[in-house]
Amino acid sequence: MNIFSEIYGAYYLAVSKILSRSALTESEAMRIIKKNTFADSILFLPHKILPQQDGSDWKLLKKSDGLFLSLVGSPPANILTMLQKCWLKAKLSDPKIKLFLSDTSLQLLEKKLEGVTPLYRHEHFRYTDVFSDGDQFSDENYIKNFRSVLNAVKRHEVILIKFVSGNGNTINKKYLPLKLQYSPKNDKFRVFCFCVSGERLRSASVINVSRIKSTEGTGIIWKEPVSMDYYFKALKCREPVTVYVSDERNGIERFFMEFAPYEKHVEFDSENKSCTVKIWYDSIDETELLIRLLSFGPVIEILSPSSFREKARERVEKQYKLISQLDSVRKS
C-alpha cells in the first residue's frame, strides 16, 4: 500500500483550492499559496500556477480582465487514496457511525467500498480500564435521540428533552444543547446544555444520551452566541480539592502527568520532597477525578474538602470489603 501520495501534499492542496474558484485575483492566489504551502514555496510556485509570458507555467489558469480563470473543465475531484478507503471501510464496522450517517448513506458507502480490505478490525483491539456498560449505539430510539440533539447543536435550537436523572426521576424541560462529547473511558455520549426558562439560560447541565427517552423540537433558535467557556465556568466547582503528594515511587512526576489538563495551584516542600496541590474541576467530573486520585494509592492524601475526603473513604472502604469477600470465597 502506498501510504505517501501526492494528494496529501501541500502543493496539490494549494492548486486544488485555486482551481476550485471560478475566478480570483493574483493577491487571492498568493494568499492561498502562502496559507497552504511552505515558507519558500512563494518563491517558485506562483510562477508555475499563474500564466507566464515564456509559457513555463502549468497551463492551469488564464488571465482575463485582471482576473485568473481556471482552464480545467471541472473542479479537482476529491480523490481518496487506498489507505483512506481502507480506513473508511474499518470505520463502517463501528456501531457509532450509525449515529451520524443515515441507512441510505451507509448502504451507498458499503457499495462504493465493496472489495476493500479494512485497515483494521475492532477485534484487534483490547481496551483496558474501560467501563463495560457503554451506550447501546445500535438502539433505534438512541439513534433517533442522538440525531435530534446533534441537529439542535448545529442549529442552536432549544429542544424539549425528556430523560431519567441519576436519581431515577423523570425530567421534562427545555434545553439548549451546546456540545456532544464522547467519553472513551465510559463508552458513552453526553450532551452539554443549559436549561432554558422563558427567554433566559438557567442552570448548566450534562445529560447522558442513554438516559434520554424522547426529544421534541420547539422551533426556538437561540440567536445569542453561547461559548463553551461560559458553560464550563458555570459548572466550575465551588471549592478546589486539596491533595498532598509525596515523591514516593516518582509520585510527583506521575501526578502532574496524570492531571496536566486540570487547573491547579501548587506549593512545593523541598525538604520533604512533596507538594500540596489545589485542583479545580468541573462538578460533573467529580467521580472521575476521585477515581483517578485513588489510583495513586498511598502516594497521595486528600486533605479537603471534607465531603470529597469522605467520598474517598467510602469508596476505599467498599473496595476493601469486596477484596475481603473474594479472599473468603477463595479460601473456602
DSSP string, 225-261: ---HHHHHHHHB-SSPEEEEEE-GGGHHHHHHHHTTT
**Could you tell me if residue 184 is inside a domain?**
yes
Asked if residue 128 has pLDDT above 80, the reply is no
**Could you tell me if residue 330 is inside a domain?**
no
Pair 155, 225 in one domain: yes
If one counts every other C-beta atom within 10 angstroms of the C-beta of residue 40, the result is 8
Number of domains the chain contains:
4
**Could you tell me if residue 103 is inside a domain?**
yes
Structural domain boundaries, residue 14: 6-70
Give the pLDDT band (50/70/90) at residue 8: low
Residue 270 is predicted with a pLDDT of 85
Give the pLDDT band (50/70/90) at residue 202: confident
Cα 218 from Cα 156, distance rounded (Å): 11
User: Which of 70, 96, 113 corresponds to the end of one domain?
Assistant: 70
Asked if residue 1 has pLDDT above 60, the reply is no
Pair 157, 226 in one domain: yes
- The whole-number average pLDDT for the span 45-55 is 89
**Could you tell me if residue 297 is inside a domain?**
yes
User: Which among 299, 312, 286 has a CA at the least distance from the CA of 254?
Assistant: 299
- The whole-number average pLDDT for the span 210-218 is 95
Residue 28 is predicted with a pLDDT of 93
Asked if residue 252 has pLDDT above 50, the reply is yes
Pair 152, 193 in one domain: yes
Only one residue has cell 426521576, namely 169
Residue 6 is predicted with a pLDDT of 64
Pair 144, 231 in one domain: yes
Residue 176 is predicted with a pLDDT of 95
Q: Which of 150-159, 198-207, 255-264 has the highest mean pLDDT?
A: 150-159
- The whole-number average pLDDT for the span 208-220 is 94
Residue 3 is predicted with a pLDDT of 53
- For the domain that residue 308 is a member of, what is the CATH number? 3.30.70
Pair 172, 191 in one domain: yes
Pair 28, 55 in one domain: yes
**Could you tell me if residue 1 is inside a domain?**
no
Pair 224, 291 in one domain: no
Pair 147, 231 in one domain: yes
**Could you tell me if residue 131 is inside a domain?**
no
Residue 2 is predicted with a pLDDT of 52
Give the pLDDT band (50/70/90) at residue 99: very high
What burial letters (b/e) apply to 124-140, b meaning 16+ CB within 10 Å?
Answer: eeeeeeeeeebbebeee
Asked if residue 226 has pLDDT above 80, the reply is yes
Let me know how long the chain is: 332
Give the pLDDT band (50/70/90) at residue 129: confident
Pair 230, 261 in one domain: no
- The whole-number average pLDDT for the span 301-324 is 90
User: Which of 235, 268, 285 corresponds to the end of one domain?
Assistant: 235
Cα–Cα separations (whole angstroms), residue 94 to 40, 98, 124, 138, 140: 42, 8, 13, 10, 16
User: Which among 123, 121, 99, 101 has a CA at the least distance from the CA of 112?
Assistant: 101
Pair 231, 245 in one domain: no
Pair 59, 109 in one domain: no
User: Which of 70, 97, 113 corresponds to the end of one domain?
Assistant: 70
Helix (H, G, I), strand (E, B) or coil at 271: coil
**Could you tell me if residue 132 is inside a domain?**
no
Helix 306-331 / helix 286-294 crossing angle, nearest 10 deg: 60
Give the pLDDT band (50/70/90) at residue 7: low
Amino acid at 52: Q
Q: Would you give the end-to-end CA distance of the chain in angstroms? A: 57
Provide the whole-model pTM.
Answer: 0.62
- For the domain that residue 179 is a member of, what is the CATH number? 2.30.30
Pair 180, 249 in one domain: no
